[in-house]
Every structure is written in C-alpha cells, then in structure tokens.
Structure 1
Amino acid sequence: MKNLKIVWATCLLFITVTVAAQNEKDKKIMADAEKAKATLIEKDAGIKIFENSSGYAIFPNVGKGGLIIGGASGNGVVYENGSAVGMTSLKKVNIGLQAGGQAVIEVIFFETDAALAKFKEGNYEFSAQVSAVVADEGKSKNVDYDDGVLVFALPKAGFMADISVGGQKFEYDAFK
C-alpha cells in the first residue's frame, strides 16, 4: 500500500510539472492556434493538409508592418501527428518598397518527417524565394510543397501589398 502511494505521488508530481511547464502565455497561444486552425478549415472546407502532413506550425497572430524598413513577428505552436510538441517564434526584418501593417494567421505545413525534424532543430530560416498561399475557398486543392514546406497565410486585419514569408527566421522550444 505504501509503495502504491509513492507511485501515485510520483505520477501526480510528473503531471503537475508537465502542466506547469506551459505558462499562461503558451496556453493562450495554444488556444489561439486551435481557433486559427478552425478558422482556416472553415475558410477552405476542402483542406486536407492538416491530416496529410507530417506536422505543422500554427502562428495565430503574425504582426507585419513597414515603411521602407519592415518586419514581422509572431509566436506559435508546433504539431506532430496532430499533437502539440512545442512552441515556436518567428521574426523577419527586411528593407524595400513596402508600406502598411497587417495581422495574419500563418500555418507552415511539413510534408515529411525530415522537413519537420529540420524545423525542430531550431534556427530554421526560409529562403528568399518562399512565398505563402493566401488561404481562400478551394485554394488548398491546387497547392504543392516546396522543399517539403508549404505556407498558408490568412489575413486577419490591415493591408500590406506584400505577403512574402521569405527571410523569416524561426526558433523552436520542445515541451519537456
């Protein structure tokens, strides 16, 4: 009986530590990511990429803005086989002809386990040629991965003449 109590106490300790490892900010981002996923699925009912990809990263609120010098940043959740496995952040700074501000939902899909593993190594960066598919009714049916990666963006508010994601840098922190 004493050993059983020790086992239960140990299990409760591990569960408590795991739950505590996700702070309030992470929990809010995770809830927002689930809402963003539902919004994207609602926008394009035919989207099957969530089910068919090895994994994906959802950034529920990427802020972009610029006037000649621009930038973007956001925090998100990385999913593998449909389960959250860690948190991620993106940053981008660029110089060029641009003006405006915008908030977007950004989702990065990974076609293979190798593409997802490369992202999870940390310090991942998109090449300048990578661009996003603007999510809309039926768009998901005619998209292709580029080097194992596919990016969807859904504008939430604001306007910018630029939807490029090239040059974005990402960091990844796995759940403990």
Structure 2
Amino acid sequence: MFDSFPVLRRTGLAAVAIGAAGLLFAGCTTTSPKSSATASEQRQSLSSAADATLGKLYQASPQSKDLVARAKGVLVFPDVLSGSFIVGAEHGKGVLRVGGANAGYYSTTAGSIGFQAGAQSKAMVLLFMTDDALNKFRNSSGWTVGADATVAVVNIGANGRIDTNTAQQPIVGFVMNNGGLMAGVSLAGTKISKLDL
C-alpha cells in the first residue's frame, strides 16, 4: 500500500501538468465572440482590419504604398496570433484584394518549435506582383510558402528605403508587430488555405 503512494503522486502531478498545459493553450486560441459572428460580419470585420493594417504599413514604410498600388493582388492578414510552449502554432484570417476589391478570404497556419511562452500577434501583407504568381496562388487548393512559392520578405534599409532587389520579386511580403516592420523574418512553411466566408 505504501509503495503505491509515489506512483499516485506522479500520476497526480502529470494530470495537473496536462491540465495546466490545456488551460494555457486554451488561452492562446483565437476563438472569441467573433467566431459566432455571421459570415457577412466576419467579412466586414476582416475588410476593416485589412484597411487599418495597410494604413500602418504605409506609415511604417511610405514606399510600400507604391508597391501595393502596382501589385496584381494584395493578401492581408491583419492579426496572426501565435502561441507556444514547446511546439507552437500560428493562425489568422485574411482577405485577398484584386483591383482594390475583396476577391476572397483565407486562413493561415504555421508551426514552430521552441520556447516562446505566451501569445504574440503580428500582421502579414503579401503582394503578388505578377499575374502568374497571383493566378498560381488563386488556383491552388492549398498553398505553402517555400514549397509552392518563395516570398521575399522586405527589409527596410537605414535610409528607410525598401531593398530594390526584394521589390522586384514575384511575391513580396511585409511582417509587422506592434513595434513596426519586423526584419529577418522567414515565412517558410506558412500554409494558406481558402475560407468559405
């Protein structure tokens, strides 16, 4: 009987640890009252958030406005939430604009390994600079950065200018957090799928 106490204690500690991890990850999900919103409300909310994200992008890099204007398609993910403990995940919803009009809604997911306790949020803007790049994206049933296409993430020089080599790539990406544009970010492995909204 006394020998069973250590086993029970270990089992109890494991159960508590699993329960705590469950609560941690539950707190990092993107499920919110917005999940019960109608499709029309979700579309309107995403469109407004995309406008705000592009406004912040133009403030952070005035030169980006010209790139956005020249793009054949602009995919905006206003709020990509990442939460991780050991194995993490990112998730967000976004809108594709073609010719200035909303042309489709998408979700993004990515995984990561490493210790980053807590939730972090960022915005992603992908610019399809050629018709070919845009058409391949729109005609795919699932699209992964690195496997289906390369995204050149923009770096801003000390003079505040966008690197001209990056700006000439078929797909150009911007990643921002509350501190502004993020440098040295890789989007490889990011999966993007069409949403029925």
Where structure 2 has 5 or more consecutive residues not aligned to the other structure, the ranges are 1-37
Structure having the higher strand fraction is 1
Indicate which of 34, 45, 50 corresponds to 1:28: 45
1:55 corresponds to: 73
Aligned equivalents of 2:99 and 2:77: distance in 1? 17
Determine if contact 1:56/1:107 at 8 Å carries over to the other structure. yes
Equivalent position of 1:42 in the other structure: 59
CA contact (8 A) 2:105 2:194 kept: yes
RMSD (Å) for aligned C-alpha atoms:
3.0
Runs of 4+ residues deviating >4 angstroms = 128-131, 134-137
Structure 1 segments unaligned to the other structure (5+ residues): 1-20
Is the CA contact 1:60–1:105 (under 8 Å) kept in the aligned structure 2?
Answer: yes
In structure 2, the residue matched to 1:125 is 144
**Equivalent residue number for residue 138 of structure 1:** 160
Task: Give the deviation of 1:174 after TM superposition.
Answer: 7.7
Would the alpha carbon gap of residues 145 and 119 (structure 1) be closer, same or farther in structure 2, given more than 3 Å must change? Answer: farther
Matched residue type, 1:79: R
Which of the numbers 143, 164, 168 marks the counterpart of 2:190? 168
Tell me the number of residue pairs that the alignment of Structure 1 and Structure 2 aligns: 152
Identity %: 24
TM-score scaled by length of structure 1? 0.72
Query: Residue 87 of structure 2 aligns to which amino acid in structure 1?
Result: I
Larger radius of gyration: 2
Structure 1 residues 78, 93: closer, same or farther in 2, change over 3 A? same
Bigger RCO of structures 1 and 2 (CA < 8 A, at least 6 apart): 1
- Distance change >3 Å, CA 165–CA 145, structure 1 → 2: same
AA in 1 matched with 2:123? I
Q: Distance in 2 between matches of 1:93 and 1:119?
A: 21
Counterpart residue identity of residue 83, structure 2: G
CA distance in 1, matches of 2:79, 2:165: 23
